[in-house]
């Protein structure tokens, strides 16, 4: 059986003083994870044998840890709690996550994880990876779970920074996905929130198809300063609502917030934040904020005026006639 290792960042204060966070400098396996010589400055974390949890070991770090992976590491379950702020970097190496019945990554409310490098799904699990984010998590680099999905759950925020997700990606109810990057397979939502960019405009790319339900929260200032969802495949927006932040200005042209290379299905179920005289257009491979279309009324005017000559002629003919003659003519 493949061993698993559980990283827990953040402990009660009574335990935190007895631990030392460190930088991993060991080899490709963690069989000697508790050997002080495999940690920079010999700062090894406390290791407890825990056969009931994940059938492996439990590595417990102090809060606000900054471990850096220096070798290929075997299957992990990664957890951050107790209001800890953790930075984890793999450099040119990778962190292999297992899933089984537990979240591969679990970030408690009030805690945060900043990850840079490469995450891969454990080949012995062959299952979707669940990232349960109740706090905040940010990823830069690559997340790969070949043939399976990355599922974001929880009530927190996940931010991608030019990140490549080499798998399908789903965002669950209550979860928020922000940032920039590319999802190389399908992207789906089930009640979550999508908000490209971070503090400003940004672009999220999807190589596959986009579908599901939830909310798009997009910044839209003008044609060159706006969030964008760029979809190579099919785009189904019928289950989404669109909330625009900022004050959209179309003075320099339509504001494109979505593009699609395949087929478009439906329209947003509701839209908020449009400026006066603005609407959403869905055509030509683009979803854009444009000027509202005013119904054509020029064809109605000639139709109403067409009877004016008849009325005028009739009035002329009636002049000079007695009332009896006009009555007879009317009959």
pLDDT of residue 261: 98
Strands of 223-312, DSSP E: 225-226, 228-231, 235-236, 240-245, 255-260, 264-265, 270-272, 278-283, 286-291
pLDDT at 32 over 70: no
Contacts for 166 with CB less than 8 Å, ≥ 6 apart: 142, 143, 144, 145, 146, 184, 185
| 59-114 pLDDT per residue, tens | 444 344 455 554 555 556 677 777 777 777 777 777 777 655 568 888 889 888 88
Q: What is the mean pLDDT of residues 190-195?
A: 97
Q: Are strands 105-107 and 203-206 parallel, antiparallel or unpaired?
A: unpaired
- Let me know: does 124 contact 147? Beta carbons within 8 Å: no
Looking at mean pLDDT, say which of 197-201, 307-311, 321-325 comes out highest: 197-201
Q: What is the mean pLDDT of residues 184-196?
A: 97
**What gap in Å lies between CA 275 and CA 249, rounded to an integer?**
8
pLDDT of residue 141: 96
Q: What is the mean pLDDT of residues 131-150?
A: 94
| pTM given for the model | 0.76
- Let me know: does 74 contact 98? Beta carbons within 8 Å: no
Beta bridge partners, 285, equal none
Q: What is the mean pLDDT of residues 2-6?
A: 44
pLDDT of residue 246: 81
pLDDT of residue 331: 53
Q: What is the mean pLDDT of residues 312-329?
A: 55
């Amino acid at each position: 059986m493949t061993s698993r290792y559980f990283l827990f960042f953040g402990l009660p204060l009574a335990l935190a003083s007895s631990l030392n966070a460190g930088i991993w400098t060991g080899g490709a396996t963690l069989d000697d994870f508790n050997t002080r010589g495999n940690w920079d400055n010999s700062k090894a974390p406390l290791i407890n044998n825990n056969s009931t949890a994940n059938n492996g070991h439990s590595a417990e770090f102090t809060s606000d840890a900054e471990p850096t992976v220096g070798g290929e590491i075997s299957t992990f379950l990664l957890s951050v709690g107790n209001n800890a702020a953790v930075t984890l970097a793999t450099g040119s190496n990778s962190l292999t996550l297992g899933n089984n019945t537990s979240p591969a990554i679990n970030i408690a409310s009030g805690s945060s994880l900043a990850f840079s490098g490469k995450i891969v799904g454990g080949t012995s699990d062959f299952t979707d990876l669940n990232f349960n984010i109740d706090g905040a998590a940010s990823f830069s680099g690559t997340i790969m779970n070949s043939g399976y999905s990355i599922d974001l759950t929880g009530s927190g925020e996940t931010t991608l920074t030019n990140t490549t997700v080499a798998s399908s990606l789903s965002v669950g109810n209550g979860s928020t996905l922000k940032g920039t990057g590319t999802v190389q397979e399908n992207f789906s939502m089930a009640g979550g929130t999508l908000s490209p960019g971070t503090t400003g405009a940004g672009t999220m790319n999807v190589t596959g198809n986009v579908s599901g339900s939830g909310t798009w929260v997009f910044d839209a200032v003008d044609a060159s300063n706006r969030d964008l969802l760029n979809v190579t495949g099919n785009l189904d927006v019928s289950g989404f609502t669109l909330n625009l932040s900022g004050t959209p200005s179309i003075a320099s042209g339509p504001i494109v917030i979505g593009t699609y290379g395949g087929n478009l299905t439906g329209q947003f179920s509701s839209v908020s934040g449009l400026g006066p005289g603005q609407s959403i257009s869905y055509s030509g491979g683009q979803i854009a904020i444009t000027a509202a279309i005013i119904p054509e009324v020029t064809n109605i005017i000639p139709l109403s005026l067409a009877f004016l000559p008849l009325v005028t002629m009739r009035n002329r003919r009636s002049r000079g006639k007695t009332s009896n003659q006009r009555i007879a003519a009317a009959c």
